[in-house]
Amino acid sequence: MHFWIMKSPSENNFLELAAPGVRALQPYQPGKPVEELEREFGIRDAIKLASNENPFGPSPLAVAAANAVIPTMTRYPEGSGHRLVARLARRHGVVPECITLGNGSNDVLDLVARVFLTPAHEAIYSQHAFAVYPISVQATGARAQVAPAHDGSRGPAYGHDLEAMHDRVGPDTRVVFIANPNNPTGGWLATDALENFIAALPAHVMVVVDEAYFEYVGEPAYPDTTQWLDRFPNLIVTRTFSKAYGLAGLRVGYALSHPDVAGLLNRVRQPFNVNLVAQAAALAALDDDAYLASSVSRNREGLRQLLDGFSALDLTWIDSVGNFVAVDTGRSAAEVYAALLREGVIVRPIANYAMPNHLRITVGSNEENARCLAALGKVL
């Protein structure tokens, strides 16, 4: 006997069944895939400089380690990620109980929101900050307090205004998200400013410092906030293997925090959220110092190449310490983006970050950077 009753489309209002925070949510839009572009426009050899990926290929040690475990993929990975957790703990000089593994650092950011936010609470983040923060906050039903970024009068334009963020902290605030360096702008916060901000937060506020681009930064005043965990038990630091380590396709990230905080995050972490191949590759990548140094060095060369090219085109940009740069096209960036697609070059328009005239361009190989600059000059 079947109990399925057909209803008209108007009666199937699933939107009303969804959690309130999900109803108005717009999903994260990733960079356009090369295959999709080539299929749409009938072109070949397109390049993608849209998703802040490492263009130099993964570590050979990581590839070898990944290949070695593929024959065992019929088995679940180790749920606790014991070996990777232990290695990360040694790297950062903490106990393993401080580590939470994630399916990329995005996963860990979402875990923080799920653990600490409810519809009765608030989260604070900056204007022009990473798009995952508002998505995770809204999904929990929590209220977002968006602090305006610097306008250039008191700090670097588009940068986090820590004073404005602190002014929004209240009794219902549970989480503050800070990206350092920030995506998509590439700006960064110095040690004294960030340390003083965290020290001034009340104990009921968790502060997340998202350091996805940590390895690329060479500024002397740039902090390693993992060194502050003993002093600030409300601090959570997130890192990823997707950028400088070149493992974006495997999705491996992690958080460092007080053991009690990590214990809470691990309560809601999905079983086996970091897969077998990803764990093996990440473990090996941590031992390939030569690969990491080369990635960072080549990125700096490529960033300089892009900036010299922008200068030759009389374009302005936001100073960046990551593996990307936001450039002001002087007009609607959506139109420039669409024209670049027809040239086989994929970059990232960032109007959704309230920056309608900017394109975020990932640092590529020398050849990719040159092709991007040539296409940009032609389009403009």
Residue recorded with tokens 């403009």: 380
What Å distances lie between residue 225 and 1, 8, 257, 361, CA to CA?
A: 62, 55, 11, 27
The end-to-end CA distance of the chain, in Å, is 66
Higher per-residue pLDDT: 33 or 306: 306
| pLDDT surpassing 90 at residue 5 | no
Give CA–CA dist 346/362, Å, rounded: 10
Q: Are 98 and 257 in contact (CB under 8 A)?
A: yes
Are 29-57+290-379 and 72-285 in the same CATH fold?
Answer: no
Q: Which of 12-26, 147-161, 197-211, 269-283 has the lowest mean pLDDT?
A: 12-26
Averaged over 243-265, what is the pLDDT? 97
DSSP 19: -
Give CA–CA dist 63/65, Å, rounded: 5
| pLDDT surpassing 90 at residue 33 | no
- For the chain, which residues make up each domain, given as ranges? 29-57+290-379, 72-285
- Cα angle 47, 368, 45 (rounded to 5 degrees) comes to 35
CATH class of 72-285: alpha beta
What Å distances lie between residue 127 and 140, 146, 194, 351, CA to CA?
A: 20, 6, 17, 12
> Which pTM value belongs to this model?
0.93
pLDDT band at 174 (very low <50, low <70, confident <90, very high): very high
Question: With pLDDT > 90 as the criterion, what percentage of the chain qualifies?
Answer: 86
| Architecture (CATH level 2) of domain 29-57+290-379 | Alpha-Beta Complex (3.90)
Amino acid 298: pLDDT: 97
